Amino acid sequence: MRRHTAPYLLLVFAALVVTFSIGAAPETPKEKLPNVLFITIDTLRADHLSSWGYHLETSPNIDRLAGEGVRYANAYTVTSRTAPSHYSMFCSRYPQEHGAKLNAFAVPADSKFLFLPQILQRHHYQNGAFVSAWPLTKRLTKLDAFFDTYDEDLSRSYQMINSMRYAEDVAPRAIKWIEAHKEGPFFAWVHFFDPHSPYDFRKEFEVTKTTGEPDHTKDRGQAVVPENLKAYNSEILYTDHWVGKLVDSLDGMGLKENTLVVLVADHGESIGERNYQGHSSSLYENVVHIPMIFRMPGTIEGGKVVETKVSTLDLLPTIVDLTVKRANPEAQVPTEYVGRSLADNILEGSSIPERTVRYVAFSGQKWVMPTWLSKMWLRELNFPEFVGYRTGDRKVIWKPDDKNMQIFDLAKDPFENSPLKPDDDERAYQKEEEALAKWYKSTDLGDGENRMTDRDKEALKSLGYIQ
């Protein structure tokens, strides 16, 4: 036994060195940590924003924010529903990895993934969340565990159910909280829901001013109801107004140069294209192509536009690198990401290698079953309704149940009007099908926790999530 003593002691010593090294990581100075204002806008498609080339001036304040920071012209969501999309932003994992594939599902209690607010909370941040719709309530998401304040006073109703609130309800609360925590560092997540259907036409925010860009409405090959288009644009301008109020208030507190402002959407919207209204069961560009902006004057050079494709999975590593890791390169952040950090590109303009962006859409949320049937329903969620990706100008959308595959060349067909269907080439279809199925199955780690009650069913039904 004695001959093993020396190697054993060496192993113990090595373990102690590693443990000491981890424990001895220098504390991150609070004064070096920037604040974070994280703005998510529900159902906001990129191509309806002026700075993304829309022919009407829908977004003067968002455009100003983009002009003061870095705008990612080709940012993509990974899924088309509100709660799963936000989970993916916060943990840099696909829905089938974190498990919450639909609204009203929470990430499993034994999840090993760390969430952005959780990481920041461990590094001195005070966290405040201000959400505006039922799918993000704390009982459904359990995200409140990572926030010191989780504000969800849903005072507005559809179909007699209080299930959302307007930007004018949420922005003042967020401003008041920021004022109370301006000594920082703070992480303020402000979620605006207004562009989500059913749209309210806001006469005072009717969009009439043109930008000089061409009007591509007719190029969409759509049967859009003009009233819906008009109302949706007014909702964007209304939300933009309150984004301006929020950012101006932040700047007026003297926090402009010490606050990283991030603006992003959870997904876009189909406004009649292909006779489809909504977003849950679609992976076309109008649903997956979203805005993404980073602003911090004095640290981030303004007016930059990046054309390289990026994903909402990139948000977590980027924000961590621009905050905790930038303030203290030796800070311990024990997590892995699927996304990649854009920090060097934002700070130094370094190039980002082209990368395939992927997205999924799940069906199945049609009714609420008794608890004893929940496992049966979960089995229906084991494979998505749609799986898709974009690499270069090539885009593929696959609907497994119908064995339907659409392939687009977005350089020649940017509005996805003329899909190339490989029906006449079974080998080409089979090759694509096998690759997509292999990717999905390799990332499918399980299902989340179904937390839906009858009241949730009515609320989600009022918002159009349940048929």
User: Would you mind telling me the total number of residues written for the chain in this entry?
Assistant: 467
- Identify the pLDDT of residue 162: 61
CB-based burial label for 24 (10 Å; 0-12, 13-18, 19+): exposed
- Identify the pLDDT of residue 422: 63
Question: In the block, which residue shows the tokens 């899909």?
Answer: 419
The domains of the chain are located at 30-348, 357-462
- Identify the pLDDT of residue 423: 58
Q: Are 370 and 452 in contact (CB under 8 A)?
A: no
d(CA 287, CA 279): 6
Q: Which two tokens stand for residue 225?
A: 């109801």
360, containing H or E segment: strand 357-361
- The DSSP-derived string for 84-121 is HHHHHHHHT--HHHHS--STTEE--TT--PPPHHHHHH
Question: In the block, which residue shows the tokens 């780690």?
Answer: 445
- Identify the pLDDT of residue 364: 58
Residues of the chain scoring pLDDT < 50:
1-24, 158-160, 365-380, 450, 452, 456-457, 459-467
Supply the pTM of this predicted model: 0.86
| Phi, psi dihedral angles at 340 (to 5 degrees) | -125, 150
Q: Are 242 and 167 in contact (CB under 8 A)?
A: yes
Residue 34: asked if its preceding bond is cis (omega within 30°), the reply is no
- Identify the pLDDT of residue 12: 36
Residues 60, 62, 68, 73: what is their CA dihedral angle, to the nearest 10 degrees?
Answer: -110
d(CA 378, CA 169): 36
DSSP for residue 175: H
d(CA 108, CA 103): 14
d(CA 80, CA 281): 7
| Phi, psi dihedral angles at 110 (to 5 degrees) | -95, 20
Q: Domain 30-348 falls in which CATH fold?
A: Alkaline Phosphatase, subunit A (3.40.720)
Question: Dmax over Cα atoms in the chain, in whole Å?
Answer: 87
d(CA 160, CA 156): 9
Q: Are 246 and 190 in contact (CB under 8 A)?
A: yes
